[in-house]
Chain A
């Protein structure tokens, strides 16, 4: 790092559940720098008390999301060059979630809603989690592996939403979540629709009942903000439309 190296002006929200304010930092600008690199620099070189969260740094774990210059993003895969405005960044904790401290939010309400939307797989053929016979000879063996052709229509519908990493970016970008605290939100509903399309799953009826109504898919206005923000290119808005249709026609 030379003396004359260009600097980024980075404003970071510092505070806790009671409130906070923006603090300004100068961070050396580098080529191919991600927003997460910038936050890490501040924490390591400037102020070790800065709280934030990350794990994988390669877009898999879903823990690094923040609001960057007004938009929710995954910071480990967001290049500064793509989002900085005149060398300036403004970083805030993910919206629509309680703040723990600084850039770290409490994701509990987000994942509680996954559970409410019945977001866990309910194996049809082995409800108690039994292992197929040939792999577990003995008294407790039940059933066999399901054969699911990857090119079948239902599997393609399930695959469309399965790569969700639970980052909460869509949840932070949805106005309805902000206006209706009970609303399950795009990620939980996308998960529910993914499982509804999974032919191996046996919990569809319960799940469709759990996601209907004013706190569920019927609260969505199909504005597609979630779809526009999802870093994985998932379309939760389309998934929610699928749930609405599925519930109306009573399919599957």
Chain B
């Protein structure tokens, strides 16, 4: 990946996150009104493709956005630059995203 693509991904994921974070927070606020139980949560998430899709995109955007940001900080503050580090950041970004998607999938299939 070159600087242009990284920049484009960072911009794109930022736009997704801006919407996703708002939806996420509003959902939480609405969901917890009048108490919350595990059964209630699973009742909403189980088998919901819309829910799974939303959180998969959210987790992927967050993973990539975070990794690209950390890559810049590591390069500037620690001097970690080069192909090896770039590959590591891709791996870290995808791994973070995978954790999120796995969690979403767990609630989807619960």
Partners in one complex: yes
Q: How many residues of B contact A (CB 8 A)?
A: 11
Chain A neighbourhood of B76, CB < 8 A: 176, 179-180
Chain B neighbourhood of A131, CB < 8 A: none
- A residues 219-252 with Cβ under 8 Å of B? 219, 221, 244, 247-248
A248 to B77, CA, bound (A): 27
Say yes or no: A218 contacts B6, CB within 8 Å. yes
Chain B: CB-nearest residue to A218: B3
Chain A neighbourhood of B7, CB < 8 A: 218, 244, 248
- Convert B90-103 into 0s and 1s, putting 1 for each residue whose CB lies closer than 8 angstroms to a CB of A: 00000000000000
If A176-B76, A179-B76, A180-B76 touch, does A216 touch B3 (CB 8 Å cutoff)? yes
Chain A neighbourhood of B6, CB < 8 A: 218
Interface flag for A60 (CB, 8 Å): no
Interface flag for A143 (CB, 8 Å): no
Say yes or no: B3 contacts A179, CB within 8 Å. no
Shortest beta-carbon distance, A233 to chain B, in Å?
27
Chain B neighbourhood of A214, CB < 8 A: 3, 75, 81
Say yes or no: B75 contacts A248, CB within 8 Å. no
Chain A neighbourhood of B3, CB < 8 A: 212-214, 216, 218-219
Say yes or no: A213 contacts B2, CB within 8 Å. yes
- A residues 44-70 with Cβ under 8 Å of B? none
Chain A neighbourhood of B72, CB < 8 A: 219, 221
A213 to B77, CA, bound (A): 18
Residues of B at the A interface (CB closer than 8 Å) are 2-4, 6-8, 72, 75-77, 81
Interchain residue pairs with CB less than 8 A apart (12): A176-B76, A179-B76, A179-B77, A212-B4, A213-B2, A213-B3, A214-B75, A218-B3, A218-B7, A219-B72, A248-B7, A248-B8
> Which 7 residue pairs are nearest across A and B when measured between Cβ atoms?
A218-B3, A213-B3, A179-B76, A218-B7, A214-B3, A212-B4, A247-B4
Residues of A at the B interface (CB closer than 8 Å) are 176, 179-180, 212-214, 216, 218-219, 221, 244, 247-248
Besides A248-B4, A248-B7, A248-B8, 14 other A-B contacts (C-beta < 8 A) = A176-B76, A179-B76, A179-B77, A212-B2, A212-B3, A212-B4, A213-B2, A214-B3, A214-B81, A218-B3, A218-B4, A218-B6, A219-B72, A244-B7
